[in-house]
Amino acid sequence: MTTTPNPLRDPRDKRLPRVAGPSVLVLFGVTGDLSRKKLLPAIYDLANRGLLPPGFSLVGFARREWENQDFRQLAYEAVKEHARTPFREDVWTHLAEGMHFVPGEFSDPGAFDALAMAVKELDTTRGTGGNYAFYLSIPPKFFPQVIEQLRRSGLAEHGPGSWRRVVIEKPFGHNLDSAKELNRTVHRVFPEESIFRIDHYLGKETVQNILAMRFANTMYEPIWNRSYVDHVQITMAEDIGIGGRAGYYDGIGAARDVIQNHLLQLLALTAMEEPTSFSADSVRAEKAKVLSSVRLPADLGRATARGQYAAGWQGGEKVRGYLEEEGIPLDSRTETYAAIKLEIESRRWAGVPFYLRTGKRLSRRVTEVAMVFQRAPHLPFSHTDTEELGQNALVMRVQPDEGITVRFGSKVPGTAMEIRDVNMDFAYGESFTEHSPEAYERLLLDVLIGDPPLFPRQEEVELSWEILDPIEEYWAEHGKPEQYKSGGYGPESADLLMARDGRAWRRL
């Protein structure tokens, strides 16, 4: 038999790729945004990279009177529009053969019985070996119901030598109590090793690179502490608004949507100690240690800021404000921007503030972690020569321009000793020929392989809610978020938060 060489694989790369074993992925919420924009394209990309087994099967479950063909059509359009890798007819045809659809309501036991029969049949026809992953890409209010249906229909039980896994999309609860409750619900049916809580930021190459950079090198570690670092800024700025997600977003807001998970995970990876190994337990334990040492400043009025986007201009287009978005109540107090100052009580970080900010409809999309260093204790140059000199910074650029920047002072060419900031850059695109996989490619593959280090465990989820809950309670009692102009830099109160500490946000 001749095999078509995979054009995506560099022939010099002799490492064995991690390939998933026989399995079925059952996707709940196939018609949703996440499924169309991220999950279905990522499954195709995995197939295209040769990382799925030959009999891999994908079962979509949703409340539509659909045949397999309709599901395949939806997936085809999603792949055509959003896949990262080039479209190959042979890969698609093979993948589509393994795609099936089961119609039904989450409340309908009959639909889950039909699902159980469908996956069983796939075991026979496609050799999927009784290995099923259930991906819950659905509104959180349905989690308990679907989990219970999986139990009742026997789908959660596996025979010897096979596995069942459940993937839970964020948000995992909306505060500490509900996160605990949800955990109890899932645990009634699935053991901990079968539960994969998704935080897609951990699937990003640049986020994993924070650990590579810190722990595979020697030169950063000596300065990675309170003796050298002045403060840390973690930014996740988006230029988009809430799009069609009013139903999900309103009442949740920026802090619950991304600080509780993505930004606190970035903080944990930046601040954690070196794990004893890269096993799931060691990495998660170190992250949990950092999260448990996070302290909120006493005065939350001064240490937090929040805003809501007003109408404005973005990319040459007029855009509407949050309160004018479809489905948002006119008196909504949901924040679309949040900034928080945190401290970490540890020998390494005592006295070093970590500033976190995120917002929608800002001037540009950028996610980064910036370590800003203390000023040199003494400058032997005349004051006027160093006027434009800022603080040294090491910036881990998560997206979109992936890489690392080191910012430092350098002599301006000329006869005087004038010193100005310059950047030294590492860019993924220039150093590596391979493009970074999408976060969901990595995470879906990890689920099918059963590799959990990139999935937060319950302890981290709960610790993150413990950090956020007092802030949410404070905000609930203290008025409305400040309006900020779309296409700008966020609310003034966020600038004030920094100014009070004699600092400023990095420019977006």
Residues forming the site for ligand BG6 (CB under 6 A): 238, 257-258, 367
Q: Do 335 and 481 meet the contact criterion of CB atoms below 8 Å apart? A: yes
Please give the Cα distance from 253 to 335 (Å, whole number).
5
Residue 357 or 407 with smaller CB distance to ligand BG6: 357
Residue 98's CB is within 10 A of a number of other CB atoms, namely 21
Residues 6+ positions from 170 with CB-CB distance below 8 Å: 197, 198, 199, 261
Report, in Å, the least distance between residue 167 CB and ligand BG6. 14
**Does 82 belong to an annotated binding site?**
no
**Does 306 belong to an annotated binding site?**
no
**Does 170 belong to an annotated binding site?**
yes
**Does 257 belong to an annotated binding site?**
yes
Residue 233 or 367 with smaller CB distance to ligand BG6: 367
Using alpha carbons, select from 312, 311, 335, 313 the residue that is nearest to residue 325: 311
Please give the Cα distance from 279 to 273 (Å, whole number).
14
Q: Do 258 and 245 meet the contact criterion of CB atoms below 8 Å apart? A: no
Report, in Å, the least distance between residue 198 CB and ligand BG6. 9
Distance in angstroms between the alpha carbons of the first and the last residue of the chain? 54
For residue 385, what is the DSSP state?
G
Q: Nearest residue to ligand BG6, using CB?
A: 257
**Does 287 belong to an annotated binding site?**
no
Residue 92 or 249 with smaller CB distance to ligand BG6: 249
**Does 101 belong to an annotated binding site?**
no
Report, in Å, the least distance between residue 137 CB and ligand BG6. 12
Report, in Å, the least distance between residue 413 CB and ligand BG6. 39
Report, in Å, the least distance between residue 441 CB and ligand BG6. 13
Is residue 262 annotated as part of the catalytic site, yes or no?
yes
- Catalytic hit among 262, 383, 435, 478: 262
Residue 286 or 402 with smaller CB distance to ligand BG6: 402
The strand order across the sheet containing 57-62 reads: 99-103, 57-62, 24-28, 132-136, 164-168, 195-197
Q: How far are the Cα atoms of 22, 90, 220, 478 from residue 48, in angstroms, in the given order?
A: 16, 9, 37, 51
**Does 77 belong to an annotated binding site?**
no
Q: How far are the Cα atoms of 78, 103, 145, 300, 341 from residue 306, in angstroms, in the given order?
A: 35, 42, 34, 11, 12
Residue 33 or 466 with smaller CB distance to ligand BG6: 33
β-pairing, 317-319 with 164-168? unpaired
Report, in Å, the least distance between residue 367 CB and ligand BG6. 6
User: What DSSP line would sit under 145-195, residue for residue?
Assistant: HHHHHHHHTTTT---TT--EEEEEPSP--SSHHHHHHHHHHHHTTS-GGGE
Residue 303's CB is within 10 A of a number of other CB atoms, namely 21
Residue 238 or 472 with smaller CB distance to ligand BG6: 238
**Helix axis angle, 439-449 to 40-48, nearest 10°:** 70
Annotated binding site for substrate: 200, 204, 238, 257, 360
Catalytic residues: 262
